[in-house]
Amino acid sequence: MRIVIDNVEKRFGDAKKKEVTALKNINFSIEEQEFVVLVGPSGCGKSTLLNIVGGLLSPSQGEVYFEGKQDKDPTLGIVFQEIALLPWRTVYQNVIYGLEERGASKKECQEIGQHYIDMVGLTGFEKAYPKQLSGGMKQRAGIARALAVEPDLLLMDEPFSALDAQTRTIMQEELLTIWNRTKLSTLYVTHNIQEAVYLADRVIVLSRHPGEIKEIIKIDLPRMGRDQEKYRQQFERYSDQIWNLIRHDAQAAIKEA
Amino acid sequence: MEPTTKKVIKNRVAFLEKQIPGYVSVAGIVGLLVLWELVCRLNIVPPLFLPAPSAIIMDGWQLISSGELFKNFMASLYRILGGYAIGAVFGILVGLMLGFSKRADAIFTPIVYAIYPIPKIALLPLIILWFGIGEMPKVAIIALGVFFPVLINTFSGVKSVDPILIKAAVTFGSNHVNVIRKVILPGALPTIFAGLKLAAGTALLLLVSAEMIAAQYGIGAMVLHYGNLMITTKLMAGVLILSLLGLLFNRGLQWLERILIPWK
Ligand SMILES: Nc1ncnc2c1ncn2[C@@H]1O[C@H](COP(=O)(O)OP(=O)(O)O)[C@@H](O)[C@H]1O
Ligand SMILES: [Mg+2]
């Protein structure tokens, strides 16, 4: 299945009846098994766009749809920036939440749940409550929960931005490994350019006020091991290219805040 | 050569972690009883005004062995448990409804806030007119007194549930019923318990008031009866039973809270 974001626009009416156009003319698609990363300075509408694609916000104009041969309703898996694990459920109960809601049997839940808990490296923590986990481990549980529904589209909104730099680097590597096993179509939001180049098949660069697509950059590097020495130059070139596209907007964003 | 000095840095917030052994609390209560007994033995206060603990226990034992205490206690227990359970269940259900449905909120919340401040005991005569003089009015007045604080706490608990959790649940396929059952109810549970504890005090107060106004049996009626006869030892025995009942209630709720909210 392919996901099409068709001419999406989003306006917010603020308290003084002044309208803010957060997104405008957003057109792109996510192919099957493609990893698309949205980058842009803070406030450019990345979360807004991801929420629209995730069905948590309605666009003011345009639409988002799945295109494919299957007739079933597409499933979405979202990994939230705020992690959003239910505090009253254990890791295992959180991971199987989506399966449970789809009426999977106990045995199925057990099998699939355990599979993804193992995959994200949380084996042994099934019975722990979120409160007992570190930030990185919480987000692993969040990722397992999203993977467990085996979604047609995986959405991630700055999933690692609350983590410290070391944990983040490790989680990025692990995410790639996991992605390689599952090959889920993914829309990933970040403000971190290195992260974008490291993970993406294509990087979509957004501008601010209004949030529009500035450029779509295809990353022509092998999926795995982009941090190796031999790709260093190309990696830097992509990073510079993206930085030059958003530098001006990022500076403006600082002044505003 | 200068003399070397050694300055150990001590934990200056150790008082935050200080452990006090359990017998200290017991010693407090025992100390109070001893003091009380002394005051009475030394005739500082006449026994009619403040009977000694030993005298209360002796006369209390009479009440127990004659079965009088048990009969009154059971009558009170049924009323308070029945009224409390009815009030709490409805309070939680209506609170969830008002918290979840904007429409219900708009219609009912003003009504709730208009009725909430009425001292419920003022409604007893009216409720006796409605239900007659059996058990019903007492149970109803307690239920009413419990209903409102539980409802209001449930409501504010629902409102305090993090919307991102609701979004997460919906994303992973929850319908409205399951959002209430699996996200909103557990999320509101800590606040609901705050309401339940608050209501326990109200329930006890209403129980005794109602029994003093209109009951043959019950701890409240018993206390009033011995007050009229100026038998203060038996009166105090009744009061102690009430204190015990309140304590029991509180402990029960604490125990339930620990079981129902293991994630805290
Ligand atoms: N609910 C809302 N009401 C009004 N304005 C909003 C709302 N959500 C986002 N915005 C505005 O839309 C713009 C984009 O926000 P957001 O998508 O959160 O940016 P990003 O995730 O890229 O940092 C910002 O200017 C923000 O102030
Ligand atoms: Mg954001």
Domain ranges of chain A: 2-74+153-256, 86-151
What is the mean pLDDT of the segment spanning A58-66?
A: 92
Residue A133, CA distances (Å) to A91, A130, A139, A147, B170 in order: 9, 5, 9, 19, 24
- Mutation choice for B interface testing from A48, A52, A75, A97 by most B CBs within 10 A: A97
| Whether residue A230 has pLDDT greater than 90 | no
Q: Whose CA is nearest to atom 27 of ligand 1?
A: A43
Looking at residue B242, its pLDDT comes to: 93
- CA dist list (Å): B76 to B124, B240, B254: 17, 14, 21
In a domain, B34, yes or no: no
Main-chain phi, psi angles of A117, to 5 degrees: -65, -40
A184 touching chain B per CB within 8 A: no
Contact A171, A210 (CB under 8 A): no
Q: State the residue for tokens 């409802």.
A: B151
Per DSSP, chain B holds a count of helices (H) and strands (E) of: 11, 0
A132 in contact with B, Cβ within 8 Å: no
Q: What's the pLDDT band for A72 if we cut at 50, 70, 90? A: confident
- B118 within some domain: yes
- Strands of the A213-218 sheet, one edge to the other: A76-79, A153-157, A186-190, A35-39, A202-206, A213-218
At B48 the pLDDT is: 87
Chain B residues touching residue A89 (CB < 8 angstroms): 263
Number of Cβ within 10 Å of residue A6's Cβ equals 14
Cα–Cα distance for residue pair A35/B48, rounded to 1 Å? 86
Q: Which two tokens stand for residue A107?
A: 């045995």
- The yes-or-no verdict on residue A224 having pLDDT over 90 is no
Question: According to the model, what pLDDT value does residue B252 have?
Answer: 94
Residue A117 is predicted with a pLDDT of 95
Cβ neighbours of B174 in A, within 8 Å: 101
> How far away is chain A from the Cα of B169, in angstroms, using its nearest Cα?
8
Read off the CATH number of the domain in which B119 is found: 1.10.3720.10
Q: Scanning every residue of chain B, which has its alpha carbon at the shortest distance from the alpha carbon of A55?
A: B171
In-domain check, residue B191: yes
Tell the residue nearest (CA) to atom 6 of ligand 1. A12
pLDDT digits (tens, 9 = 90+) for A104-116: 999 999 999 999 9
Which range marks the domain in which residue B172 is found?
63-260
Is residue B45 in some structural domain? no
Give the Cα separation of B214 and B125 in Å (integer). 9
In this predicted structure, what is the pLDDT of residue B185?
Answer: 94
> How many alpha carbons lie under 13 Å from residue B209 in its C-beta half-sphere?
17
Cα A210 to averaged position of ligand 1 atoms, centre (Å): 11
The structural domain count of chain B equals: 1
Give the helix/strand (H/E) hosting A65: strand A61-67
Residue A35, beta-bridge partner list: A186
Give the C-alpha separation, A42 to A23, whole Å. Answer: 13
How many Å is the maximal CA-CA distance in chain A?
55
CB contact under 8 A, A101 and B171: no
A54 membership: H or E segment, kind and range = none
A127 and B CB contact within 8 Å: no
**How far is the C-alpha of B264 from the C-alpha of B258, rounded, in Å?**
9
Say what percent of chain A tops pLDDT 70: 98
Residue B57: inside a domain:
no
Do residue A101 and residue B172 have CB atoms under 8 angstroms apart?
Answer: yes
Please report the pLDDT score of residue A79 as a whole number: 95
Asked if residue B235 lies in contact with residue B228, where contact means CB atoms within 8 angstroms, the answer is: no
The pLDDT of B19-32, averaged and rounded, is 89
pLDDT at residue A128 is higher than 90? yes
Q: How confident is the model at residue A257 (pLDDT cuts 50, 70, 90)?
A: low
- Mean model confidence pLDDT for chain A: 90
Angle at B147 between CA B143 and CA B151, to 5 degrees: 165
Hey, what's the torsion of the CAs at B231, B237, B239, B241, to 10 degrees? -150
> How close, in Å, is residue A69 to chain B by CA atoms?
22
CB contact under 8 A, A97 and B171: no
- Counting ligand 1 atoms within 8 A of each CB, the residue from A23, A48, A50 with the most, and so the one to mutate, is A48
Q: Which protein residue has the closest C-alpha to ligand 1 atom 16? A: A45
The protein residue whose alpha carbon is closest to atom 5 in ligand 1 is A12
Question: Is the CB–ligand 1 distance for residue A13 below 6 Å?
Answer: no
> Cβ separation of A86 and B183 shorter than 8 Å?
yes
Residue A146: its pLDDT value, please?
Answer: 95
Q: What is the structure's pLDDT at B25? A: 86
**Which is the closest atom of ligand 1 to the Cα of A46?**
22
Q: Which position has the token pair 């792109």?
A: A28
Is there an atom of ligand 1 within 6 Å of A51 CB? Answer: no
Average pLDDT over residues B80-106: 93
Residue A98 reports pLDDT greater than 70:
yes
Percent of chain B scoring above 70 in pLDDT:
100
Q: Does B189 touch chain A (CB under 8 A)?
A: yes
pLDDT at B1: 65
**Residue-level pLDDT at B19:** 84
- pLDDT greater than 70 at residue A196: yes
Residue B41 lies inside a defined structural domain of this protein: no
pLDDT of residue A125: 96
Assess if residue B17 is contained within a domain. Answer: no
Mean pLDDT across chain B: 91
Comparing alpha-carbon positions, the chain B residue that sits nearest to A151 is B172
Q: Cβ of A102 and B262 within 8 Å?
A: no
Residue B209 main-chain phi, psi, to 5 deg: -60, -45
Say whether residue B109 is in contact with chain A using an 8 A CB cutoff. no
SS3 state at A186: strand
Q: Is the pLDDT of residue A225 over 90?
A: no
- Whether B151 is covered by a domain: the verdict is yes
Model confidence pLDDT, tens digit, residues B51-68: 999 999 999 999 999 999
Q: Which of A148, A159, A142, A153 is nearest to A186 (CA)?
A: A153
A44 lines ligand 1 (CB under 6 A): yes
Distance CA B204, CA A199 (A): 63
Give me the phi and psi of A191, to 5 degrees please. -105, 5
Find, in chain A, the residue whose alpha carbon is nearest to that of B174.
Answer: A101
Mean pLDDT of A217-242: 88
CB half-sphere exposure, B165, CA atoms < 13 A: 22
Contact (CB<8Å) A86/B173: no
**Does the domain at residues A2-74+153-256 carry the CATH identifier 2.60.120.650?**
no
With vertex at residue A194, the alpha carbon angle to CA A190 and CA A195, rounded to the nearest 5 degrees, is 45
Torsion of CA B182, B188, B194, B199, to 10 degrees: -80
Q: What percent of chain A has pLDDT over 90?
A: 64
Ligand nearest to the CA of A158: 2
Q: Measured between alpha carbons, how far is A180 from A224 in angstroms, rounded to an integer?
A: 8
Asked whether A46 lines ligand 1 (CB < 6 A), one says yes
